[in-house]
Structure 1
């Protein structure tokens, strides 16, 4: 068994007032996500009840973390293969099915990375790099739904 990594994150509900959660519509969903030594993320809920749309939502951060992890694995895989990547932009999209209770599971995430290379890379070689990165991506491997990678070359 390999080494264990621990990630410490503080989530602090900042939307409380003297009425607390006296009703579903009475309280703010605003909260902060903090990691020691890093900037605070201002966050809220995905629902439209007392939601500040300028703040990050857990669902957005979830999709972003999957995209981020795939990018980092791709860059690592390319570097190890001697392929120079000069740009990487992903327009990721997560789809969640809303069920009768107003919530539901993610059904799919599609990553659409646009990659620029220092020298020409064949479509087959690029596809192999994306596939290998996807296979090693520990975040994606932890999920119970599909994550599709549809790369584009810049």
Structure 2
């Protein structure tokens, strides 16, 4: 039997008298015990380009969750990971009526491990990590993986 966790976030937005001609899309999100997130719409949707936007945060959630699932699997399979980087991309499709949705995310994880005999296994674990990832399991679009794996000897 599984279990449930509840996550909470508080959003605050206030009309700015200095922005009387338009509504600003900037707002804050507060999660107890954590630093405040300053958020806006994406620049393409007339938001503040200096702030994170929901699209950034969704992509960041997928990338982060995949990495944590992957590192968990590497630990379970005795694969020593030295570094993990990813330059991920998300594709958002906007319809003529203004609605939109993500149609795909592509992860490009570059992993460095210590044992060259484990490269094939290390690459294969990305598929299983996707199956374990809470965020990926919540998405209704494909999450593609283009992983690479290299060897780095520890001193």
Would the TM-score normalized by the shorter structure come out above 0.5? Answer: yes
CA distance in 2, matches of 1:48, 1:133: 32
CA RMSD of aligned residues (A): 2.0
In structure 2, stretches of 5+ residues that fail to align are 151-155
In structure 1, stretches of 5+ residues that fail to align are none
Given that 1:19 and 1:26 are in contact with CA atoms closer than 8 Å, whether structure 2 keeps it comes out as no
TM-score (norm 2): 0.88
CA distance in 2, matches of 1:120, 1:151: 15
Normalized per residue, the structure richer in helix is 2
How many residues are paired up? 150
TM-score (norm 1): 0.88
| Deviations 1:90-137 (CA, angstroms, capped at 9, x unpaired) | 111000111012231100000001111122244421222111111111
1:17 shift after superposition: 2.4
1:52 shift after superposition: 1.4
| Deviations 1:51-104 (CA, angstroms, capped at 9, x unpaired) | 211100100110010000000000000001110011011111000111012231
Correspondence 1:145 to 2:141: yes
4+ aligned runs moved over 4 Å, structure 1:
47-50
